[in-house]
Structure 1
Amino acid sequence: MVFSWLNVAVFACLAAGIAFAGGPLVAAFLLAPRTSGGAFAEPYECGMVPRGQAWTRFGINYSLYALIFLSFDVDVLYLFPVATAYPQSQGWGPLWALFAFVGVLGLAMLYFQRKGVFTWPRRIR
């Protein structure tokens, strides 16, 4: 196999990429302080000394809201390419496809509302 300047450039870029990715990892390993125990093992709580148990149980509602937000956030990301390609499109087909997509999102919102996902349970103590 004959090496050309293109092969040399590819290998040089590969080596530079590995150096840029691995360099900070090696530097952090070599330059990081070697302390353990004491206050370094405790969780950081905004400068305050933590009290009580570090692991608390959270309700499932936090996870449900996070998943719903993530799903609708990703769905909105699909609308950006549509918005950029819409001026170059021909006919009513893309508009009806956009309405169908937004309609399915609206039906999902209604479904979640009917299931009671958006109602936050209140605890009165």
Structure 2
Amino acid sequence: MTTWYPVAVTLLVAGVIVGVMCTINMLVGPKRAGAAVKSEAFECGNAPSGSAWGRFSVRFYLTAILFLIFDVEVIFLYPWAVELRYLGMFGFVEALIFIAILCVGLVYAWERGALDWD
């Protein structure tokens, strides 16, 4: 049970901080619920242009998903780079196979036109 003590303390402190911040917000925050500005979409300080329910191209989402996939996959290379000396040639070959699979996926996405913005 002593191994879970730091986790319990962290969760308790996080819960207290969230509760205190929400309470302060309710006590100090503005109470104007009917303000016309609150019903408008926020667009970086610019005047709203069009509906907030506008449609995005599917290519936008596809590019975002591809970015997330390759970004997360590259993060897996950091532990490998830290332990490269310990892993030796076996770890090096495994990382090369991993990078090759990523390159094949990137070439496939490129050939399918997933990265074209026409």
TM over 0.5: yes
The two structures have a TM-score, normalised by structure 1, of 0.76
- Higher Cα Rg: structure 1 or 2? 1
Find the residue that maps to 1:89 and give its secondary structure. Answer: helix
Aligned residue for 1:97?
A: 94
Q: How far apart are 1:23 and its partner, in Å? A: 0.6
The two structures have a TM-score, normalised by structure 2, of 0.80
Identity, % of aligned pairs? Answer: 28
Aligned residue for 1:86?
A: 84
Aligned residue for 1:35?
A: 32
**Which amino acid is the alignment partner of residue 54 of structure 2?**
T
**Which amino acid is the alignment partner of residue 117 of structure 1?**
A
Matched, 1:111 2:108: yes
Q: Which moved more, 1:112-121 or 1:74-83?
A: 112-121
- The alpha-carbon distance between structure 1 residues 42 and 69, as it changes in their structure 2 partners (threshold 3 A), is same
Q: How many residues align?
A: 112
Q: Deviations over 1:36-92 (max 9, x none)?
A: 2222322233434324322211100110000000000000100000000002223x2
**Which amino acid is the alignment partner of residue 24 of structure 2?**
A
2:72 to 66, 71, 74: 74
Q: Which moved more, 1:51-60 or 1:76-85?
A: 51-60
CA RMSD of aligned residues (A): 2.4
- The gaps in structure 1 that reach 5 residues or longer are 1-5
